Structure 1
Amino acid sequence: MSTVLPDTEHRRLAASGRLRPYILLARLDRPIGWWLLFWPCAWGVALAGGAFSHLALLAWLLLGSVAMRGAGCVYNDIIDRDLDARVARTRGRPLAAGLVSLKAAWAWLLILCGIGLVVLVQLQPLAIVIALASLAPVAAYPFMKRITWWPQAWLGMVFSWGALVGWAATLGTLGWPAVALYLGTVAWVVGYDTIYALQDREDDALVGIRSSALALGGRVRAGIGFFYALALIGWAVAIWGVRAEPLALVALAPAALHLLWQVMALEPGDADDALGRFRSNRMAGLLVFLACLTVGTGAG
């Protein structure tokens, strides 16, 4: 006997089918991206000593990370739609595959930016100014892979901005430990995004897309290790600026061991392995957050 779905179920499934390309366009099905955008925000709040007393702020920053990461993905796909169609891993993306029109993609981008604006007005004035200052670098990012071998450095500058926003949103000021935290995070992003770029080295070389993974060539593992070391130095300086005690630096040990494991276990020629190591940075972000939380809570 055949089963007939109620009209409401038919409508639900149809709506799901219509919405799915927009979910994919904003990468809402892939939370790793917004976790990587959120963690620097959380580090800034935690190191400034406000994690427990600013839980609502963390929630707003998480919402903002989801929305603005989605907006960034939509914008990136609008700019890169022709290149995406020529790369095996990206040719199925909604714009490149023709599942979403260009006009609809722009409308979806505006909706996501609207959510980001709601989050923005919850912040302190200095944090709002800092957040708005990120818009120009964000808009320029998709073009970097066309003009430099190090677009990962530009992404690092953009994806690390939350460290400054989180600190300023907590204290209403911007101290040098926040700048050290930011610079360390830039190096971390260069490292993990180089791992991510390993998936596309062959296609990128064919279509003319530049990346640090191609620039480093056979020295890619050493290069990633170098940037992770710079990240740890930056984070250590930030922690020292908040709590100048040698024992405070021990809080970074779990994150350091995790990053060392990434470098030592990485198989540069294995795309699946590269994706797994890249995704493991969600855990790296949590470990750094716990270090900042420990130091920020115990400062003073």
Structure 2
Amino acid sequence: MTEHIVPDTQHRGLVARLPQLPRDLAQLARFDRPIGWWLLFWPCAWGVWLAGEGVQLALVAWLLLGAIAMRGAGCVYNDIVDADLDRKVERTAVRPVASGRVSRKLAWAWLFSLCAIGLVVLLQLRLQAQIVALASLLLVAAYPFMKRITWWPQAWLGLVFTWGVLVAWTQLRWDHWEVLAAIYAGAICWVIGYDTIYALQDREDDALVGIRSSALRMGSHVRGGVAGFYGGAVALWALGFWLYRMDLVALLALLPVALHFVWQVATLDPDDPTNPLDRFRSNRMAGALMAAACFVVGNA
């Protein structure tokens, strides 16, 4: 029952107990790996809580549902596009589409079902936020092809995976664009950092099949590169906070997430088969710490 469970799944037991087809669909949408939708959701929470309109529990819940559905849809789309490449990489060869357990036709049907949930979430937003959300679709559609044409597909992922901060902000307010720009730019740096860590798992296979990544581009300097991008993220977030609220509390609120990044870099071992995945997953906590900082700065 576990022969098709991918190596980095977090819920082997739950997924393994499902019948074959539901299990394959769950894996296709990465429901067995919730880290992805947490990383997509946290920038949404940043935008809500930095906007200074309180907890906004209903809006946050809708955005969480949207993050789960659209991250799943994005993964399905990525696997449809990348099926031929996935077959050549050991870690991804067992994915449902690449392995042939799920047909492309069924994968497309599953993709549209997840998008329908995303549409329900979209309709809960005001028109300005809906337009901003829909503007991300071209970026999402282009992402799977970036690893074929650039050494920095992680930068494109940063554009896509942090778009939620723009949507959430425009749902609640329509000003302070300089603040939003700094927070968004910092978020992109964060994604480049953590996705470079994630890409360390596939360096050998990626090099063999011609897939490009920032982990390969940085080579032996990957720890310093990740540190640079994390440092850039903190600096840009500090700029955004300072532009929004010029007092020391705004900067001190970033100290926990900055220390977390220091821990990640200091303990990162690019040559350990399990260490990079653990450090990558720890960014769920980094996102939560940044969310707490946004709430303090926006609502204190």
TM range (shorter): over 0.9
CA contact (8 A) 2:176 2:244 kept: no
Percent identity over paired residues: 61
How is 1:214-293 mapped onto 2 (pairs within 5 angstroms)? Answer: 214-293=216-295
1:170-228 CA distance string (max 9 Å, x none): 22556221111110000000000000000000000000000000000000000000000
Q: Hey, what does 2:41 align to over in structure 1?
A: 38
Q: CA deviation at 1:241?
A: 2.1
TM-score, length basis structure 2: 0.93
Are 1:25 and 2:28 an aligned pair?
A: yes
CA contact (8 A) 2:197 2:279 kept: yes
Q: CA deviation at 1:111?
A: 0.4
Q: What runs of 5+ residues in structure 2 fail to find an aligned partner?
A: 1-15
- 1:145 pairs with one of 128, 141, 147: 147
- Please tell me the residue identity of whatever aligns with 2:28: L
Cα distance in 2 between the residues matched to 1:67 and 1:211: 26
How is 1:82-93 mapped onto 2 (pairs within 5 angstroms)? Answer: 82-93=84-95
Q: Which range moved further: 120-129 or 181-190? A: 120-129
Q: CA deviation at 1:17?
A: 2.8
Cα distance in 2 between the residues matched to 1:271 and 1:200: 10
- Runs of at least 4 residues of structure 1 off by over 3 A? 13-16
Cα distance in 2 between the residues matched to 1:190 and 1:271: 20
Q: Hey, what does 2:68 align to over in structure 1?
A: 66
The number of equivalent residue pairs is: 285
1:134-185 CA distance string (max 9 Å, x none): 0001000000000000000000011111111111112255622111111000
Q: CA deviation at 1:242?
A: 2.0
- 1:201 pairs with one of 184, 200, 203: 203
Q: What runs of 5+ residues in structure 1 fail to find an aligned partner?
A: 1-12
Are 1:179 and 2:168 an aligned pair?
A: no
CA contact (8 A) 1:47 1:242 kept: no
Cα distance in 2 between the residues matched to 1:247 and 1:291: 10
Cα distance in 2 between the residues matched to 1:174 and 1:61: 22
Q: CA deviation at 1:18?
A: 2.3
Q: Which range moved further: 265-274 or 190-199? A: 265-274
Q: Hey, what does 2:4 align to over in structure 1?
A: none
How is 1:42-191 mapped onto 2 (pairs within 5 angstroms)? Answer: 42-52=45-55, 54-173=56-175, 175-191=177-193
Cα distance in 1 between the residues matched to 2:17 and 2:85: 30
SS in 2 for 1:96: helix
Cα distance in 2 between the residues matched to 1:25 and 1:173: 39
RMSD of aligned alpha carbons? 1.3
| Rg larger for | 1
Cα distance in 2 between the residues matched to 1:174 and 1:24: 40
- Please tell me the residue identity of whatever aligns with 2:53: G
